[in-house]
Amino acid sequence: MHKEQVRKFYEVLWDNHDTDAIPSVLHEDFTFRGSLGQEKRGHGGFAEYADMVHRALGDYKSIIEEGTH
């Protein structure tokens, strides 16, 4: 279950930049602290951050590496 949610977060929200899918992945009242140091709250805040990152980095892709824990 958790692996599927993490995969959806990166593949759908980040790689495909599908901000319409945010409600199906993230809780409405969550707080997100991005790697650029900004803290955003809720779906709208996350969408703003994702848009900013995609404007800056273009068509990048996330790589999920599975550990052997």
pTM over 0.75: yes
Domain ranges of the chain: 2-57
Q: What is the pLDDT along the chain (69 residues), one digit of tens a residue?
A: 688 888 899 999 999 999 999 999 999 999 999 887 889 999 999 999 999 989 998 888 888 887 766
DSSP code string of 16-67: S--GGGHHHHS-TT-EEE-TTS-EEEHHHHHHHHHHHHHHHH-S--------
CB 22 within 8 A of CB 68: no
